[in-house]
């Protein structure tokens, strides 16, 4: 009962206060003062709306959260971090060992390849030397047969063979004439009478002379009387 009476008196006092100078009429007509606002003003006068000091106080909790140092990692986080580091180092070590093994394997492969290439080169050289010996032997045998046949040919036929050999391989013609019996070679050269054939005779004899000079050169192991 007393509270209702107090509320009514509070509203009356506010209305009386606002009535002075026609202010209440202005506020009521402008809509700035409503029944709810009057009731709230009355509540303030009654002390129902005490000022909350925490409302105007700075947000110490927020400031504390902003200014607080970063949180230290937990034991589990440290353990996980150390485990991740160990795994990474182990992976690097495995990669290093794999690279070392691959490099060693490549080194052995290159060494084996070089040895095979050396053996191949040696075998090829040996084969060439053997083929050269066989060829030289066959040529020597063939040359001896050629020499025998030419020695038994008529001088005119032997001359034709010698001229054609000269036109194809001058060195072979010189070798053939040098191997022939002197008398046989003379009879063959006597058949060469045309200017071209006389020029061949001249060059043949010149090559024989030069060949004999090389045989008699110092260091050849031969002397003029040999």
Q: Name the phi and psi angles at 47, rounded to 5.
A: 85, 15
Q: How far apart are CA 74 and CA 152, in angstroms?
A: 116
Q: Are 165 and 200 in contact (CB under 8 A)?
A: no
Per-residue confidence (pLDDT) for residue 133, from 0 to 100: 64
Lowest mean pLDDT among 36-40, 99-103, 187-191: 36-40
Query: What CA dihedral angle connects 133, 134, 140 and 142, to 10 degrees?
Result: -160
pLDDT digits (tens, 9 = 90+) for 3-18: 555 555 555 555 555 5
The answer to whether the Cα torsion of 135, 141, 147, 153 is positive or negative is negative
Q: How far apart are CA 39 and CA 10, in angstroms?
A: 9
Q: Are 176 and 147 in contact (CB under 8 A)?
A: yes
- Whether 64 has a pLDDT exceeding 60, the answer reads no
> Quick one: 42 exposed, middle or buried, by C-beta within 10 A (0-12, 13-18, 19+)?
buried
pLDDT digits (tens, 9 = 90+) for 120-167: 888 888 777 766 766 666 678 888 899 999 999 999 999 999 999 999
In the chain, domain spans: 1-46, 88-141, 153-215
Per-residue confidence (pLDDT) for residue 184, from 0 to 100: 93
pLDDT digits (tens, 9 = 90+) for 65-118: 555 667 777 888 888 888 888 899 899 989 888 888 888 888 888 888 898 888
Give the other-Cβ count within 10 Å of 164's Cβ. 11
Per-residue confidence (pLDDT) for residue 126, from 0 to 100: 79
Q: Mean pLDDT over residues 40-56, rounded?
A: 58
Residue with tokens 């020029």: 199
Name the pTM for this structure.
0.39
Question: CB under 8 Å to 15, separation ≥6 — which residues?
Answer: 24, 38
CA atoms within 13 A on the CB side of 6: 10
- Whether 46 has a pLDDT exceeding 90, the answer reads no
Structure tokens at 155: 């001088």
């Amino acid at each position: 009962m007393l509270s209702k009476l107090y509320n009514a008196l509070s509203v009356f006092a506010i209305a009386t206060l606002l009535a002075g100078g026609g202010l209440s009429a202005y506020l009521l007509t402008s809509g700035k003062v409503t029944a709810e606002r009057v009731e709230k003003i009355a509540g303030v006068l009654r002390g129902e709306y005490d000022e909350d000091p925490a409302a105007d106080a700075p947000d110490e909790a927020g400031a504390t959260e902003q200014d607080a140092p970063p949180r230290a990692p937990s034991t589990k986080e440290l353990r996980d971090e150390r485990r991740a580091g160990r795994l990474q180092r182990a992976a690097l070590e495995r990669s290093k060992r794999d690279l070392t093994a691959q490099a060693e394997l490549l080194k052995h492969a290159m060494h084996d390849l070089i040895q095979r290439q050396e053996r191949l080169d040696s075998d090829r050289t040996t084969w060439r030397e053997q083929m050269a010996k066989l060829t030289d032997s066959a040529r020597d045998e063939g040359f001896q047969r050629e020499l025998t046949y030419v020695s038994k040919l008529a001088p005119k036929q032997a001359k034709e063979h010698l001229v054609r050999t000269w036109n194809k391989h001058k060195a072979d013609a010189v070798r053939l004439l040098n191997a022939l019996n002197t008398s046989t070679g003379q009879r063959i050269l006597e058949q060469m009478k045309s200017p071209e054939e006389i020029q061949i005779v001249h060059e043949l004899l010149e090559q024989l002379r030069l060949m004999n000079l090389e045989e008699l050169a110092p260091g050849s192991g031969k002397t003029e009387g040999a």
